[in-house]
Structure 1
């Protein structure tokens, strides 16, 4: 394993990668897992006037690149299927393999290798759902509709703070700051897969409220972010919304809930002036 940190070995591996290849490895490290379709949308976008006029053309190119990276040991398939609209090779799920991970760590001067553990079906579905939110925002930015000022994934988006009983870490799924010409919006994103009982979700809401009361985030950016709960369906949204409203200790202006297919619209809706999680952009 020591040759992985040898500068000559690192240079040899780097010579096998294009700039786009390197960005693919970075995204797999950042999101932990992505499907071929998600990678295609990030790195091989299909636009009428772009380099890839159709989705099938873009997908074929994405497949060729991913198979080459797999052959060199940079990435590997996760041998688990996750439900969704994609089928065939587009539904293949990828993660960073040993060579890819060692290379990225060597480039940052990090000697330790992380041990890979095959994720559970539940964990993988949640991971891909969180990535889907981020990718939808990136596509929105590519269309020129918004600017993404920050997009932090786990664990970069976590917030440690001193709670009533000691140190607490608020573990959101994503933290984003998006903007248009007039306003920027700060949002913590939680992707709920209906795998936890509602009392556990409400306890997480209380953690957000406790963190809000510390004033730490407000000192950092002058506003406290909105918290967007993204649920799998309308029934879960209804139940979660009702539970939050029924809790007198939770402020009604802090939490928003929506179904997964409305997540992008919900995020964009924060880009309106006045409420607590928005800041007006200076001209």
Structure 2
């Protein structure tokens, strides 16, 4: 798409239309309900009115191939339009690539159910942060999605490694900031896999790279579906003597917002070997 073609298309799009496309670019997949919560939370008399408005906008964008719906609905037919999952359409991808000055094409295909479920779970965490901000509970300073939140580093034996969090965020409350790495856990991996991922976080923390840039290391939060899964992960982490327990937290999706609202960091006076999560 040439800059001239992009300009011609942009004439027909509102600021909110572009914001929806940018959200799909960031999160890769969003349900209709997610898009309503992000971009239609204000200015509607009822939830039904907001739901109707979002579908009208998405249908209009779909006719221009700016967005595309997946064949599989989240929650099945009973979920209705709220369960429809969306991604960028081919034209939407080309438009944003032109706007951002990027040349490499992103291919959007029908993802597997497992990939879609995990991607939507991560998006739900990020949207939860913005909803807390709308409620004046916190301020969202920064949210980085994959792959922007990935970090490369050299491990203890000189090997090149990647840390790949699901989400990185900085939130603020009063005079304090909280820094977070989030892992959206759907109970699909064995606990030993979680322990191995925790050790990657520890190796990255040991480099001091993040602390050098930000003065602290984020809290690492596994967000799990229920208390049984939380207990299984906590037991696996506790059983491994190489794990630094002060670096990790495990919370259920039900308790996620309460954790963010109250802050999950340790004392700013924590020792360097136990990286801190909260600072003035």
Q: Does the alignment reach a TM-score above 0.5?
A: yes
Q: Does 1:158 align with 2:150?
A: yes
Summarize deviations over 1:167-216 as a string: whole Å, max 9, x none: 10000000010001121100100011111111111000000011111001
Q: CA deviation at 1:17?
A: 0.8
- Residues 37 and 86, structure 1, Cα contact 8 Å, conserved in 2: no
* Change in 2 beyond 3 A, CA 1:86/1:170: farther
Number of aligned residue pairs: give it: 272
Q: What's the TM-score, normalizing by structure 1?
A: 0.92
Q: CA deviation at 1:111?
A: 2.2
Partner secondary structure for residue 87 of structure 1: helix
- Residues 30 and 120, structure 2, Cα contact 8 Å, conserved in 1: yes
**Mapped partners of 1:144, 1:86: distance in 2:** 33
Aligned residue in 2 for 1:79 = 71
Runs of 4+ in 1 over 3 A off after TM superposition: 83-86
* Change in 2 beyond 3 A, CA 1:272/1:203: closer
**Mapped partners of 2:265, 2:243: distance in 1:** 23
Q: CA deviation at 1:40?
A: 0.3
Partner secondary structure for residue 186 of structure 2: coil
- Residues 88 and 108, structure 2, Cα contact 8 Å, conserved in 1: no
**Alignment partner for residue 202 of structure 1, among 173, 195, 202?**
195
Aligned residue in 2 for 1:190 = 183
- Residues 169 and 181, structure 2, Cα contact 8 Å, conserved in 1: yes
- Residues 183 and 272, structure 1, Cα contact 8 Å, conserved in 2: no
Q: Does 1:231 align with 2:224?
A: yes
Q: CA deviation at 1:12?
A: 1.3
Consecutive unaligned residues of structure 2, counting only runs of 5 or more, are 269-275
Partner secondary structure for residue 38 of structure 2: helix
- Residues 87 and 108, structure 2, Cα contact 8 Å, conserved in 1: no
Q: CA deviation at 1:118?
A: 1.6
Partner secondary structure for residue 250 of structure 2: strand
Q: Does 1:131 align with 2:127?
A: no
Q: CA deviation at 1:15?
A: 1.1
Q: CA RMSD in A?
A: 1.6
Aligned residue in 2 for 1:102 = 94
Aligned residue in 1 for 2:57 = 65
**Mapped partners of 2:43, 2:147: distance in 1:** 34
Consecutive unaligned residues of structure 1, counting only runs of 5 or more, are none
Aligned residue in 1 for 2:255 = 262
**Mapped partners of 1:156, 1:130: distance in 2:** 14
Decide which moves more: 249-258 or 271-280: 271-280
- Residues 180 and 271, structure 1, Cα contact 8 Å, conserved in 2: no
Decide which moves more: 32-41 or 263-272: 263-272
